[in-house]
């Protein structure tokens, strides 16, 4: 049975997994600091340490591993060449147009396969639910600082011609996404009223809180900076704060409008919703998914669509890219 190691490279840490084609042999979060700000040479050393850590923890040697999967934040090409500016949270100009896959391949002297982190997480959710069933399709929506997406069709992740497939955060919402009122939401990408402008932490900070606080100037969040206030919304939502619930409800409506669009495009089997925005109490998770389901104008035939919280959020990237590498 072929084996792979998956490395999920983030702004702070490299999370690792080992995959034997059936099972993930590392159960817990296992990571080394990524030290990305110190530049590609230091990062190369850290990637090598992370790879060795995975081998040591499962008792494999390098010759046991057929392929290594590597995922990183984008924007990057389909093969892992960063854009001219490099990933925003890597904080070092040396990553502009940098080929991270080739760099790591040179250091490791073995095959390395690349995915962006949204696609890797999407593939893991899909694999966790459907295994290697080649007939299933799914959409993943990862609500973090931004809105990361991933699409799996017939068991294969959609990467796109130049690597920008499934940039679902920047798909524009339909005009009636909010059934109660209309207000303009701006995204850092320059678009108005796209999914990320509502269903992300940045969307809360830039658009939702300013809108709802304007009507509730006495609310305790009004006295905080926009950034600090946005980070408190999830906790307040868990406590039942009406304004925080309105903010998160509007996110659920945006997600519902987007899922309705995707149903009409793909007629998929499942939707997985993950990211920091879903790392909350089971009560809020259920309420959120119920709110999403209630807003979708279902056809009777499609009401069986699975909508679930994405599993194992913090390990999903490494696991997804490990699966992809073997595929
Ligand atoms: Zn956008």
Per-residue pLDDT of the chain in tens (327 residues, 90 and over written 9): 899 999 999 988 999 999 999 999 999 999 999 999 999 999 999 999 999 999 999 999 999 999 999 999 888 999 999 989 888 778 899 999 999 999 999 999 999 999 999 999 999 999 999 998 889 999 999 998 889 899 999 989 999 998 889 999 999 999 999 999 999 999 988 999 999 999 999 999 999 999 999 999 999 999 999 999 999 999 999 999 999 999 999 999 999 999 999 999 999 999 999 998 999 999 999 999 999 999 999 999 999 999 999 998 789 999 999 999 998
The distance between the two most distant Cα atoms of the chain, rounded to a whole number of Å, is 63
Measured in Å, residue 87 CA sits from the centre of ligand 1 at 16
Q: Residue 301: its pLDDT value, please?
A: 93
Measured in Å, residue 57 CA sits from the centre of ligand 1 at 40
Q: Residue 89: its pLDDT value, please?
A: 76
Measured in Å, residue 185 CA sits from the centre of ligand 1 at 10
Q: Residue 135: its pLDDT value, please?
A: 95
- Report the run of H or E that residue 322 belongs to, with start and end: helix 316-326
Measured in Å, residue 53 CA sits from the centre of ligand 1 at 37
Q: Residue 91: its pLDDT value, please?
A: 85
Q: Comparing C-alpha atoms, which of 152, 117, 26, 134 is closest to residue 313? A: 117
Measured in Å, residue 216 CA sits from the centre of ligand 1 at 27
Q: What is the DSSP letter of 309?
A: E
Q: Comparing C-alpha atoms, which of 73, 117, 88, 118 is closest to residue 189? A: 88
Q: Residue 42: its pLDDT value, please?
A: 97
Q: Residue 268: its pLDDT value, please?
A: 97
Distance CA 156, CA 151 (A): 8
Q: Is the peptide bond before 75 cis (omega within 30 degrees of 0)?
A: yes
Measured in Å, residue 192 CA sits from the centre of ligand 1 at 7
Measured in Å, residue 4 CA sits from the centre of ligand 1 at 34
pTM of structure: 0.91
Q: Residue 184: its pLDDT value, please?
A: 97
Measured in Å, residue 197 CA sits from the centre of ligand 1 at 6
| Residue indicated by tokens 């799996």 | 152
Bridge partners of residue 152, in order along the sequence: 138, 157
Strands 67-72 and 112-116: parallel
Measured in Å, residue 48 CA sits from the centre of ligand 1 at 34
Q: Per-residue DSSP letters for 37-71?
A: GG-HHHHHHHHHHHHHHHHHHHT--GGG--EEEEE
């Amino acid at each position: 049975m072929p084996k792979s190691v998956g490395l999920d490279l983030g702004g702070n840490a490299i999370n690792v997994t080992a995959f034997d084609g059936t099972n993930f042999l590392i159960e817990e979060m296992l990571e080394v600091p990524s030290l990305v700000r110190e530049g590609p040479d230091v990062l190369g050393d850290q990637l090598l340490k992370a790879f060795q850590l995975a081998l040591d923890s499962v008792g494999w040697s390098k010759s046991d591993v057929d392929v290594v999967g590597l995922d990183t934040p984008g924007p990057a090409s389909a093969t892992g060449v960063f854009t001219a500016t490099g990933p925003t949270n890597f904080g070092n100009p040396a990553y502009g147009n940098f080929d991270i896959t080739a760099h790591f391949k040179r250091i490791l002297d073995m095959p390395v396969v690349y995915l962006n982190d949204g696609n890797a997480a999407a593939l893991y959710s899909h694999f966790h639910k459907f295994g290697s069933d080649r007939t299933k399709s799914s959409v993943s929506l990862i609500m973090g600082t931004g809105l990361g997406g991933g699409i799996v069709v017939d068991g294969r992740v959609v990467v796109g011609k130049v690597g920008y497939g499934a940039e679902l955060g920047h798909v524009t919402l339909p005009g009636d996404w909010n059934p109660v009122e209309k207000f303009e939401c701006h995204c850092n990408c320059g678009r108005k009223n796209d999914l990320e402008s509502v269903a992300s932490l940045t969307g809360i900070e830039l658009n939702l809180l300013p809108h709802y606080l304007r009507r509730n100037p006495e609310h305790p969040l009004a006295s905080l900076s926009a950034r600090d206030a946005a980070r408190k919304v999830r906790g307040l939502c868990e406590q039942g704060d009406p304004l925080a619930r309105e903010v998160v409800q509007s996110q659920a409506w945006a997600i519902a409008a987007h899922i309705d669009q995707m149903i009409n495009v793909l007629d998929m089997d499942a939707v997985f919703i993950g990211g920091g925005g879903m790392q909350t109490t089971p009560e809020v998770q259920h309420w959120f998914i119920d709110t999403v389901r209630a807003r979708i104008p279902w056809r009777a035939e499609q009401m069986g669509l699975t909508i679930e919280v994405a599993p194992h959020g913090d390990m999903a990237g490494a696991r997804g890219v490990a699966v992809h590498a073997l595929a």
